[in-house]
Amino acid sequence: MNVLQMVPQDNSSFSTVLITFLVRIINELHSNQSHPATVALVNFNSPDLDYVPVQLMKRVPGVAFLSIDVTKPYAMPTPTYIPIVVHHFTASYLSHSPHAEVFEMLQTFELFGKEKKVIVIVDSAGMKSRNLTTLATTYEQFGVIDIIYVTEKDKSISINGFDGSSKQLVPLRYPATVRALYPDRLSNLSGKSYHVLCYKNIAKCYRNENNRTVGSDVDAYNIIAKHQSTAVEYIYAEGTVELFEPYSTSVDLATYRIVPEKQPTEYQLLRLPDMIRWCIAVPKSYKRIIHEQVIWPFAVDLWILLFGMALFFVIYRTMIQTRLLRHYPSIYTLVNAPLDILKITLLFLFSEYYTAMLTSILGLSQLPAYPKTLREFLGTEMLVLFPSPALFNEVDEGHEPFRRIVTIKSTKAYDPSKLAILQVCDVFRYTISSTTHYFGKRQTHHRFHLIEEPIRVSLTFSLFRKTSPHLHRFRRYVSWLNEAGIWEHLEQKWNKIASNAPIFDRQDDPYSAILGLDHFLPVFIVGGYCYLATIIIFVMELIVGRVHKAF
């Protein structure tokens, strides 16, 4: 016989059935927890149900209980996560709006954005059906979907809960298990799409040339939605980042990253695997070189060998060759020809290699004079420009290079060649243009060198709607994607795609890769050296010739 058909004839029978039901459900819920969980009992100080806390503590001794009455003045306990709540409502209290009490209960037990199981016991004396519907709607608006309603009517007990679509209350069977009373509603969200506010963030969420919303976040969220048998609707915005309405159901989460100093009261935080790495971008500066470049093609030891061989042949021609020819003609004939061949071969090899190496470095007519590592940067006195130095705490400000951070207000004018800029490492090439434009002079990423040694690494969060019931499951999926390496793979994939996207190179200098006249200065320098040597030799021959004629 169905238990619901057995109608207790007195209040003691109702009490027995209610306590038996609560003991069974609490035991099952408690055993399903990965760690011991406290059970909250709310509003059980009324005369008709004041026996509930005592009986539960006796029947379930292995569970800790916390009993409070929000209808009376009480000392607010320290917010503590309590995943199992038994909440009692009276019909008289339901005649007023239950929003305030439900919100206070969820806030006190830190249930926003976390998994929770709620049992609501409603005193049916004088209660109207619309009151229960109002209460159920209130809980649903605050994101409580794992909830059942136990009512007493004509000394009988009935259990109600939402149907699979979570749109209307349906009766549930008394002997149903916890799995049946609290089905996994988040495994199948068919017909309930995620609404994601997507702000332009290159490589994470942006519009491509086909006007499609793409990026690493888009791919990751689509994977999560597919696992939950639903889809994602992206609300794209390119303008200034604005917070969405905290209690509006039109947006579930936003893709922009924040580094909060404390937990926001109107939103929940979704921690993301990727971190914000702060790097210093220094302006590129060069030291013009002219004569040094002529020496570059050969290393020092090769130059020593070259000059040694040249000195040997000079000594041979001026001193040794004549003596061999006069005194040892047979040896001269054996030695002279191989030495000439060696000289011609070395001259050919050295000249060809020199020309080839010099040609390969024609564009290097200037040497980098900017710091390329963090250690080199700390050896300079360059200041770092950042619009909001208050972002970094007092601990950071006492160390290099944070003490060098200044704002545009503390400088007379922005000089791109003298001030470094603090940037997020991964999006440097996409954000440096807008950052420099904010300071007063727009520059492209070609004008800066990014020191890829982060001076600070910060955790990143996205804002999630506080009343969304999906947050705790969404966090779990994000953690799974990170542990499987999928999140990192998507980050690398879209960073590479975004780097090659043509729309991000519109401000590049089209003449940066074209050879100019100054690139060929080394060629003219070498030619000048040759002509100078020719003139010197010609003058020396004239002098020597006149000296011989004079004597």
**Which residues are CB-contacts of 539 (< 8 A; sequence separation ≥ 6)?**
none
Please give the model's pTM, rounded to 2 decimal places: 0.68
Answer yes or no: are the C-beta atoms of 322 and 285 closer than 8 Å. Answer: no
Lowest mean pLDDT among 16-30, 445-459, 504-518: 504-518
- Out of 93-107, 143-157, 177-191, which region has the weakest mean confidence (pLDDT)? 93-107
pLDDT at 521 over 80: no
On whether the CB atoms of residues 272 and 479 are closer than 8 A, the answer is no
Per CATH, is 13-181 categorized as 2.40.128.110? no
Cα–chain center distance at 136: 38
Share of the chain above pLDDT 70, in %: 79
Tokens representing residue 438 in the block: 């904010």
How far apart CA 31 and CA 101 sit, in angstroms, is 28
Q: With contact defined as beta carbons under 8 Å apart, do 2 and 26 qualify? A: no
- Return the pLDDT at 153: 65
Nearest to 458 by CA among 210, 303, 288, 278: 278
Coil, strand or helix: which one is 311?
helix
Q: Over 80: is that where the pLDDT of 219 sits?
A: yes
For 355, the 3-state DSSP assignment is helix
Domain assignments of the chain as residue spans, ordered by start: 13-181, 289-365
Strand-pairing partners, residue 87, are 42, 120
From the CA atom positions of the chain, what is the Rg in Å? Answer: 40
| pLDDT given for residue 397 in this prediction | 52
Give how far the C-alpha of residue 452 lies from the chain's centroid of Cα atoms, to the nearest Å.
16
| Mean per-residue pLDDT, 55-80 | 80
Residue 293 is predicted with a pLDDT of 63
**Which amino acid is present at 175?**
P
CA distance 546 to 551: 9
Segment 281-320, tens digit of pLDDT: 999 887 766 666 666 666 777 778 788 888 888 888 888 8
Structure tokens that stand for 518 in this block: 């100054």
pLDDT tier at 496, thresholds 50, 70, 90:
confident
Confidence category of residue 384, pLDDT binned at 50, 70, 90: confident
The answer to which of 176-185, 332-341, 385-394, 497-506 has the lowest mean pLDDT is 497-506
- Max alpha carbon distance in the chain (Å)? 150
> How many C-alpha atoms does 19 have within 13 Å on its Cβ side?
19
Tokens of 535: 């003139």
pLDDT of residue 5: 32
SS3 category, 432: helix
For residues 314-324, one letter each, b for 16 or more C-beta atoms within 10 angstroms of the residue's C-beta and e for the rest, the string is: eebeeeebeeb
Q: How far apart are the first and last CA of the chain?
A: 144
CA dihedral of residues 141, 93, 65, 142 (deg, nearest 10): 10
Count CB-CB contacts under 10 A for residue 198: 25
Q: How confident is the model at residue 126 (pLDDT cuts 50, 70, 90)?
A: low
pLDDT for res 4: 34
Determine the Cα–Cα distance for residues 5 and 158; give it in Å rounded to an integer: 10
